[in-house]
Structure 1
Amino acid sequence: MELNLIGIPGIPIVKEGNNIADIILDALDAENLEINDGDVLVVAETIVSKSEGNIIDLKSLKPSELALELSEKTGKTPEIAEAIISESNEIIKVGPDFIISETKHGFVCANAGIDESNVDEGLATPMPADPDVSARKVREKIEKMTGCKVAVIISDTQGRAFREGAIGTAIGISGMFPLWDRRGEKDLYGRELETTSVAVADELAAAASILMGQADEGIPVVLIRGVDYFKTLKTDSANVKPLIRPKKYDVFR
């Protein structure tokens, strides 16, 4: 078994209106790489938000009383605090330098997933409005242009409860199920699995994050080849929702 991860260089600074699928295909062509059936493309959410014009001008925001309160508690600027509030359904926990919230998408993460890196001064990028739709558009265009069946994952860098450091996490997907339910299968000793499900989209996003990096690496797209469970999980109707734990089962909130 072999899994290949290929960081795609040559991705330009993305601007509003750019077509992400075209940019990916052009970059692959420049590297003499072709799309194959079963390939998975992991795309950083920042370039997706930029292409969709989903940019926050922090100077245009008028901080509310809650934003001023959060700014005082966290050390964040009132404008960033206001942006986090506007992108959230609920503020869950506040610490000395973080705000944990539930985003409009239902994700529980730090700072509503708003990113101030890799964007001009005074601007910030929230998550794409609908990452599943964004992933589907990229997948459908690539499949149309290449004739190959692929999956596309939109990834974000997030922290984890009780663990230091951030990893790549799937926030949108198209082309394959994000969760692999293995209940009913047998382990090495013949025992039947009763609760095992695997967050394959998160695993792939985390693997791709190693190549994407967190600074000036300039690799916002990673091609993953050799995902042996692709055929098992292949579908045109997938979305990321199976990865989101329902609030009634969230014992930490």
Structure 2
Amino acid sequence: MNYGYIILQKLINMVNSPKYIAIPVKTGYIKPGESYNIIIERAKDLLEDGDFLVISETPISISQGMIVDEAEFEPTILSSILADVWSKYIWGYILGPIFRIKRRTIENLRKLPHEARTHKKVILDYYGLKHALKPASEAGVDLSNVPGTFVSLLPDKPGMVALDIARKIFKDPGRDVTVMIIDTDASYEFAGRKFTSLPIAVDGIKCDLGVWGYILGRFGKIIGPTPLGISKSHNINETLKIAQTAEDYHKKNEMDIETVYDMKNMFDGDITGVTIEMLNSVEHTPAVIVRMC
């Protein structure tokens, strides 16, 4: 085997790989039922032809009113077993270490509060058992960036939403851009196949695998956040690179509230007491413009 040739080829690929820059789109808190057009208004003066406007799924879900108050649900025997036995003990103490999931995730599973029983009930009702069996981040349902005991479900028809936003931008300010809606939940690759545990994803990523996708992902590699919808099709590898660039920006931005733990740290207390006014008191970055340079 010619290792020198292989190394040279990798160097050539690195040089020829496109480079991207990320430009944040800042807004206030997008409230339930409030139009997502505010993202367009804040982005349009920054956009250029050929850009990607990558939008986080939670503000779209909240805008659509895709939120649920978990305080209105009563846990069942099944949801209690899934929270107290399956997630907290079997995954927290046995399967988690075996599958080498993140140490922080294991610690959080071992400290699951009683409210997790109700959360599992919501997942069972909206997405079914295979998603409720996932120990954490079930079905991409988000506990962050929502007030009180609410959670946000996945957005409704994210591909259509992405197309609607792209058309509005093409009309005013007349920019031809690609709009993508992403979820921070991972996509994986194993044996040349791309997949995610999430119920929905763009073409090229097999979806709706629930806990089975999560387990199979332990044997594959994480290839980045999951694109849920896109306004026009692109090569799936390029799509994933664009999504990862946007995600990298969010991870570097200390003010972003990406997880429920970020929200707890920001507001220093019980997240069930977080109000819309508190959420509106901090700057939000619902979208990132990704540009090839």
TM-score calculated relative to the size of structure 2: 0.58
Partner-residue secondary structure (3-state), 1:8: strand
The CA deviation at 1:125 is 0.7
1:15–1:51: 8 Å Cα contact kept in structure 2?
yes
Contact kept? 1:158, 1:166, Cα under 8 Å? no
Aligned partner of 2:124: which letter? I
Flag the 1:58–1:169 CA change in 2: closer, same or farther, 3 A. Answer: same
Task: Give the equivalent residue in structure 2 for 1:86.
Answer: 125
CA contact (8 A) 2:123 2:132 kept: no
Q: Secondary structure at the match of 1:63?
A: coil
Question: In the alignment, which residue of structure 1 is the partner of 2:94?
Answer: none
* Ranges of 4+ aligned residues in structure 1 off by more than 4 Å: 163-167
Distance change in 2, residues 1:50/1:177 (3 Å): same
Partner of 1:12: 28
The SS at the match of 1:223 is: strand
Alpha-carbon distance in 2 for matches of 1:167, 1:215? 20
Select which of 229, 250, 254 maps to 1:172.
229
Correspondence for 2:148: 121
1:64 offset after TM fit, Å?
3.2
Structure-2 change in CA distance of 1:120 and 1:92 (3 Å): closer
The answer to whether the Cα contact below 8 Å between 2:124 and 2:132 also exists between their aligned partners in 1 is no
Deviation readout 1:184-232 (Å, 9 max, x if unpaired): xxxxxxxxxxxxxx432222111101112386323221001228xxxxx
Coordinate RMSD, CA, aligned: 2.6
Find the counterpart in structure 2 of residue 251 from structure 1: none
Amino acid at match of 1:118: N
More strand by share: 1
Matched, 1:209 2:226: no
Work out whether 1:142 is the aligned partner of 2:169: yes
Which residue in the other structure is 1:48 paired with? 60
- CA distance in 2 between partners of 1:113 and 1:2 (Å): 29
1:238-253 to structure 2, matched below 5 A, reads none
Please give the secondary structure, in 1, of the residue aligned with 2:83. Answer: helix
Equivalent of 2:286, from 209, 220, 224? 220
The alignment status of 1:23 with 2:80, answered yes or no, reads no
Aligned length, in residue pairs: 191
The offset of 1:137, in angstroms, is: 1.8
AA in 1 matched with 2:225: G
Q: For residue 183 of structure 1, what is the aligned residue in structure 2?
A: none
Alignment of 1:55-70 (within 5 A): 55-70=67-82
Q: Which residue of 2 aligns with 1:185?
A: none
Contact 1:61 1:79 in 2 (8 A): yes
CA distance in 2, matches of 1:166, 1:142: 29
Deviation at 1:2, TM superposition (A): 4.2
Shift of 1:5: 1.4
Letter matched to residue 237 of structure 2: A
Against the structure 1 CA distance between its residues 166 and 124, is the aligned structure 2 distance closer, same or farther, given a 3 Å change threshold?
A: farther
- Tell me if the contact between 1:58 and 1:124 (Cα under 8 Å) persists in the aligned partners: yes
Shift of 1:91: 0.8
Of Structure 1 and Structure 2, which has the larger fraction of its residues in helix?
2
> TM-score normalised to the size of structure 1?
0.67
- The alpha-carbon distance between structure 1 residues 65 and 130, as it changes in their structure 2 partners (threshold 3 A), is farther
Secondary structure (helix, strand or coil) at the match of 2:163 reads helix
Unmatched runs of 5 consecutive residues or more in structure 1: 100-109, 181-197, 228-253
Identical aligned residues as a percent: 25
Distance 2:154 2:57 in 1: 6
Q: Is 1:111 paired with 2:111?
A: no
Offset of 1:165 from its aligned partner?
8.1
Q: Verify: 1:200 aligned to 2:216, yes or no.
A: no
Mark the runs of 5 or more structure 2 residues left unpaired by the alignment. Answer: 1-17, 89-111, 189-216, 257-283
Q: Is the 8 A contact 1:84 1:112 kept in 2?
A: yes
Q: Which has the higher contact order (CA 8 A, sep 6+)?
A: 2
